[in-house]
Chain A
């Protein structure tokens, strides 16, 4: 990214900076998700696409071009749907880390777009055309700036080594190449006991596995190259390893490993029922590794984090004893805290309300008095009641999240197990609970009014409405409440 671009972004964010970190234990204000230069970003992708296409030297120009276009379309679609987060402190920190790596290594990278993807999974990616993304799910797992530097350096290594574009060329060669065509022709004409289809599948499996192996090799290469880039910077190399070890436990919850559903949704007038957590018995085996025609494990492109960390041992050992005193890790801790809250907003954005509730409960175990968390739980439960009533619940909550971590799985089971009336009662009692309801929050009045109306409690509905008019004469829900 050019210096001018960084300056403009910095200025914009400084001006519109959210106040997300103020008293995060008491409340949270969601970050800005609107891309300040969405149009510019899209035009940069388009320009890079043109450049990439004009540089194609392969004989299968059309096939490569198609893949380049698909990639650009994918990134543009994500930008249009606001799937990237533009939170000032996070963007600024990432840019400063990028600057350190770029300048200390004299890389001269000026056209890179480094974005935060709102996805909750622990991941980062390099698209190969000039965009690097770091997921919110990864940011919330960061412990220090050196770890962030390693993630960024790893993706920059992929970019510098042109791994992604090379993979596209290899893919095209493998799938559309002369050799494959000849093999396929041979298979079609072959007379043997195994069917043509089976033979074709075998060929396909070969290609896929080969391509998987290729990726694994490139991951290791990117790790080593990233360490090389970091050597010249202020960052602590040992953190690359500690981060890789941490990645290995990414499937586990960050905070509370036990679900708190039975305490959060237990009310004196409406006690929690253990049957709400009863696992539905699937008649089929849980192990689905062979469910598809391909062995999914063989298709994993990344080697295990532990394997990667072990490979880095000798490289890191040679760089020990480096002075890393100039790093301020507080900023990373702050953005990780922000990401902890922001994944809730993202889960709502992606219409995965079970995931949103799970993250709320995780955060609630750390910040039991946070108003944002309570408000969001009210929102989730109220909207889910409405969705269930209108037979649209399945659009917000998956029927099963088999294979994910236990508290998330339990949250999903809980929401699916509830009958409509139970969902309504739980939402109603959660809102009408002294420890949750904040008389200064107009959202709380709004959700209380909505639930009372949906559950046909005219007395409560009227009382809440009157109180709202009295407390918030210029409130944002005034029109909605007046219209009914």
Chain B
């Protein structure tokens, strides 16, 4: 729900700074309504913000929208008005260092269109395609729902990539929208299949390669997948290689990858499983790091088993953090070559509130029930590896348990699959991993909900763990400062957080950027 909250709050702020609010004259004529807001990211780093409002009716069925683009300091880059059908929404935005790409959808026409703007906010390119795939369409939600879509990726110097489904959900499609309007983009379609499901997740791209983690599953519950690494030519979409990530003993699920120009090698990291293990049910055997050449040949693989890793795990007040499952949010390499993997514990549990609703619903003669299962989110775990991938330390960030009630009908899904639902709805406490170039630092942000003795309210605390100069620094910030003054925190440009204060007494909302302390 945090994703929703950001959208709503950001829009309130942006709206309060409308350029034309100088005149009260037109207030009753122009009804301003926020549709979508979000952050413009470049390789995961926040570089700006966008917001899309309906500001007026025009011809029949048409609306005038205000598209607002702000830089990383929340200062205006461009405000422009565009006229579109009323069924249009803005799905997501991306930034690649040269251009901003916005992905719009027209719910009635079932069309997706991309618009790219240069850094002065001038329209550079426009491209439209029909959505003929029901699964893709459903993923965009209804016209009033800010899409929980995260398919747009940037390729510096070249353009943008859009990852979508095709052939029902049996295959995937990768489309390149180039920066240069005179250049024709390309798209790649996965092999047509009658059985099973193929999927692709963006991993890394440069002006030579587009690397995706691909997976194949026999059925739609994704309990047992095999994984591969696919590289496409960034310039024409031709497949360079598609290598199965398994050997005689293990299969490997990649979570992150880099292309090291100096060594001319592809480096991938992730979780490894025994071949017989169910990737959708088991926790795997540990973490791996693998090197491949640009032809897709596996050069070497390093393993770190959970058994080995757990030896480094500190004993916390709650005892040793073992058992349960770990959702890996990110694995990244810091400037000193060491590797940091960020995980968060979760488990499935009975939801007393959901059960009560169902009992009541049955007693009243049936009707809409609730899920009787919830997900319990627990500690953050940071695994730190030496450059040779030997384990250096395991850091457990203790935090209070938080519950995520599942939507109705989700009781029988496996716990791994449910963790993806939690991630999709922003239910984890993890907020971000930032690479702070200026200080050669890596910062991990999260939220903690501390129950204060004697109070019915939980205290929200923003926490950050920052790796810099060879050590981890922790930073904490209490978010609810008083009954009248509530504070929220969101990801901002590298090294910063966005702090939003809502003063109920003065009815004011203020937003500012704050440095993460280390």
Contacts and interface: CB of A to CB of B under 8 A. Distances in A.
B64 A195 contact: yes
Contact of B72 (A198, A201, A283, A291): A283
Contacts of B58: 195-197
A7 interface: no
A420 B518 contact: yes
A416 to B, nearest CB: 7
A420 B26 contact: no
Contacts of A291: 75-79, 121
B25 A196 contact: no
Given A284-B71, A284-B119, A204 B23 contact: yes
Contacts of B59: 191, 195
B512 interface: yes
B244 interface: no
B47 A201 contact: no
Contacts of B20: 201, 204, 293
B432 to A, nearest CB: 16
Interface in A111-141: none
B512 A394 contact: yes
B25 A285 contact: no
Given A282-B72, A288-B76, A293 B23 contact: no
B97 interface: yes
Contact of B23 (A175, A284, A399, A416): A175
Interface residues of B, number: 46
Given A197-B55, A391-B499, A175 B25 contact: yes
Nearest to A203: B26
B517 A391 contact: yes
B280 interface: no
Given A197-B30, A204-B23, A293 B79 contact: yes
Question: Chain B CB within 10 Å — which of A176, A198, A290 has the most?
Answer: A290
Nearest to A192: B59
A293 B66 CA distance: 10
Question: Chain B CB within 10 Å — which of A288, A394, A402, A417 has the most?
Answer: A394
Contacts of B73: 282, 399-400, 402
A391 B500 CA distance: 12
Contacts of A176: 25
Interface in B383-423: none
Interface in B436-458: 438-439
Contacts of B497: 391
A284 B42 CA distance: 13
Contacts of A292: 19, 76, 79
A173 B515 CA distance: 48
Contacts of A191: 59
A294 B26 CA distance: 16
B311 interface: no
B246 interface: no
Contacts of B296: none
Contacts of B26: 200, 204
B105 interface: no
B71 A196 contact: no
B57 A196 contact: yes
Contacts of A293: 19-20, 79, 81
B71 A197 contact: no
Given A197-B55, A290-B121, A400-B73, A283 B95 contact: yes
A81 interface: no
Contacts of A197: 30, 55-56, 58, 64, 81
Given A284-B77, A391-B477, A391-B517, A200 B29 contact: yes
B120 A290 contact: yes
Contacts of A204: 20, 23, 25-26
A141 to B, nearest CB: 28
A482 interface: no
17 contacts: A195-B59, A196-B56, A198-B81, A200-B29, A284-B48, A285-B119, A288-B77, A291-B75, A291-B77, A292-B76, A293-B79, A391-B514, A393-B514, A394-B512, A399-B512, A419-B515, A421-B518
